[in-house]
Chains A and B, each alone.
Chain A
Amino acid sequence: GNSVTQMEGPVTLSEEAFLTINCTYTATGYPSLFWYVQYPGEGLQLLLKATKADDKGSNKGFEATYRKETTSFHLEKGSVQVSDSAVYFCALSKETGGFKTIFGAGTRLFVKA
């Protein structure tokens, strides 16, 4: 079946450090891929998405590229801020599955000033 695996946390970084959170997926066909973020005390919200191979999603300085050959969608940011502290979820969704989104377990990021 379809699944998402992402690196375990927590990840602790100093402000302005480079961030990578690894995500790989298993799915037949061509799913859409997403990163959702959950800030403390808030609901999940979409951070970025990519709908086909080699697409790059980007938002708020975060980027992720849909790599079908490696079935990956790693999240990167060149310089993190304290305000980026949150839980990040990699996810996939397919139209043939009714767009039921499948989530990874989440990676908690702490950014220190």
Chain B
Amino acid sequence: DTGVSQDPRHKITKRGQNVTFRCDPISEHNRLYWYRQTLGQGPEFLTYFQNEAQLEKSRLLSDRFSAERPKGSFSTLEIQRTEQGDSAMYLCASSPITVGRPNTGELFFGEGSRLTVL
């Protein structure tokens, strides 16, 4: 399977604990995005990477959240000192963006990592 994969698929944790999610994008895709989705809502942008560079972070991403893409391949999203309001589905998506060629911004999503904070 060469699609986007996320791990773990489901994480249950107690308030105050740290959690980390991993995303493996489609190998030739240089863009990687993180989104958060709560019940009944569409995905909300959190941050994105061009190769290993983090180019933008949403105001939704408090200082308890950190994301990395150290070698421009897989990415991790860490949440420190989790709160109940962090309970959501965390989605990763990748996209092939080629400089100098037309791009549409189509995203390829993983199945998501569901976080439940007790």
CB distance from B29 to the nearest CB of A (A): 12
B91 close to A100 (CB less than 8 A) = no
B106 close to A45 (CB less than 8 A) = no
The SS class assigned to the B binding surface is loop
Number of inter-chain CB pairs below 8 Å: 62
**Quick one: CB contact mask for A34-53 with B, threshold 8 Å, 1 for yes?**
10100000111110010100
A105 CB-CB contact with B under 8 Å: yes
**Quick one: CB contact mask for A15-59 with B, threshold 8 Å, 1 for yes?**
000000000000000001010100000111110010100000000
Question: Which chain B positions have C-beta within 8 A of A100?
Answer: 33, 45, 48, 56
B104 CB-CB contact with A under 8 Å: yes
B21 CB-CB contact with A under 8 Å: no
CB distance from B61 to the nearest CB of A (A): 13
Which residues, 63 to 114 on B, are CB-close (under 8 Å) to A?
91, 93, 95, 97, 102-112
**A99-B95 contact given A93-B104, A105-B40, A105-B41, CB 8 Å threshold:** yes
A interface residue count range (under 10 / 10 to 19 / 20 to 34 / 35 or more): 20 to 34
Other-chain residue from B44, B56, B111 in contact with A42 (beta carbon distance below 8 A): B111
Which of chain A's residues has its CB closest to B110's CB?
A: A43
Other-chain residue from B45, B56, B112 in contact with A101 (beta carbon distance below 8 A): B45
B42 close to A46 (CB less than 8 A) = no
CB distance from A5 to the nearest CB of B (A): 11
A45 close to B109 (CB less than 8 A) = yes
Which of chain A's residues has its CB closest to B4's CB?
A: A43
Complexed CA–CA distance, A46 and B4 (Å): 14
B105 close to A95 (CB less than 8 A) = yes
* The 4 residue pairs across chains A and B that have the minimum distance between CB atoms: A103-B42, A99-B105, A93-B105, A43-B111
Known: A44-B107, A91-B42, A93-B104. 18 other contacts (CB 8 A): A32-B105, A43-B110, A43-B111, A44-B109, A46-B106, A46-B108, A51-B102, A93-B105, A94-B105, A95-B103, A98-B48, A98-B55, A99-B31, A99-B97, A100-B33, A101-B43, A103-B42, A103-B44
6 contacts between A and B (CB under 8 A): A4-B42, A36-B107, A42-B111, A49-B104, A89-B43, A101-B45
